[in-house]
Amino acid sequence: MDVKGKKVSVIGARRSGLAAAELLAEAGATVFVSELGRISPVEADRLAARGIAWEAEGHSGRVCDADFCVVSPGIPRTAGVVRQVLREGIPLFSEIEAASWFCSARVAGITGTDGKTTTATLLHSIAEADGAAKGYRAFSAGNIGVPFSSLAAGMASGDLAVVELSSYQLEGCVSFRPDVAVITNITPDHLDRYDGDMGAYAAAKYRIYAAQGPSDTLVYNYDDPLLREHFHAGRGAFPFRIVPFGVGEEVIRSGASEAFFFGDGVISRWNRGTADQVIAGAEFLKGSFRGQHNIYNTLAAVAASDALGISRDALRTAIAEFRGVEHRQEFVRCLDGVDWINDSKATNINALLQALNAVPGRIVLIAGGRDKGNDYSVLDPVVGRKVAAVIAIGESREKIIRAFAGITPTVQAESLEAAVDLARKTAARGETVLFSPGCASFDMFENFEERGRLFKHYTGLLGS
433 near 423, Cβ under 8 Å?
Answer: yes
Q: What is the pLDDT of residue 189?
A: 61
Q: What is the pLDDT of residue 464?
A: 37
Q: What is the pLDDT of residue 245?
A: 97
- E-strand ranges in 124-226 read 138-142, 160-164, 180-183, 217-221
Cα dist. 20→93, 235, 336 in Å?
A: 11, 36, 50
374 near 349, Cβ under 8 Å?
Answer: yes
pTM of the entire structure? 0.81
Query: Could you write out the DSSP letters of every residue in 305-343?
Result: HHHTT--HHHHHHHHHH----TTSSEEEEEETTEEEEE-
Q: What is the pLDDT of residue 78?
A: 87
Within the chain, how many helices (H) and strands (E) appear?
Answer: 16, 20
Q: What is the pLDDT of residue 192?
A: 61
Q: How many CB atoms lie within 10 A of CB 268?
A: 20
Beta strands 160-164 and 106-111 are parallel
How do the pLDDT tens digits run along the chain, 464 residues long?
Answer: 799 999 999 999 999 999 999 999 999 999 999 999 999 999 999 999 999 999 999 999 999 999 999 999 889 888 999 999 999 999 999 999 999 999 999 999 999 988 899 999 999 999 999 999 999 999 999 998 899 999 999 999 999 999 999 998 999 999 999 999 999 999 876 656 666 678 888 999 999 999 999 999 999 999 999 999 999 776 678 999 999 999 998 998 888 889 999 999 999 999 988 999 999 998 888 766 777 888 999 999 999 999 999 999 999 999 988 877 788 888 888 888 998 999 998 998 988 998 898 788 899 999 999 988 888 999 999 999 999 999 999 999 999 999 999 999 999 999 999 999 999 999 999 999 999 999 999 999 989 999 999 999 999 864 43
Burial of 63 (0-12, 13-18, 19+ CB in 10 A): buried
Q: What is the pLDDT of residue 241?
A: 95
Contacts of 206 (CB under 8 A, 6+ apart): 183, 230
Could you give the CA distance from residue 2 to residue 27 in angstroms, rounded to a whole number? 8
Q: What is the pLDDT of residue 74?
A: 84
DSSP state of 231: I
153 near 131, Cβ under 8 Å?
Answer: no
Could you give the CA distance from residue 294 to residue 325 in angstroms, rounded to a whole number? 11
Q: Which domains does the chain have, with CATH numbers?
A: 7-90 (3.40.50.720), 100-321 (3.40.1190.10), 330-461 (3.90.190.20)
Q: What is the pLDDT of residue 463?
A: 42
Q: What is the pLDDT of residue 92?
A: 97
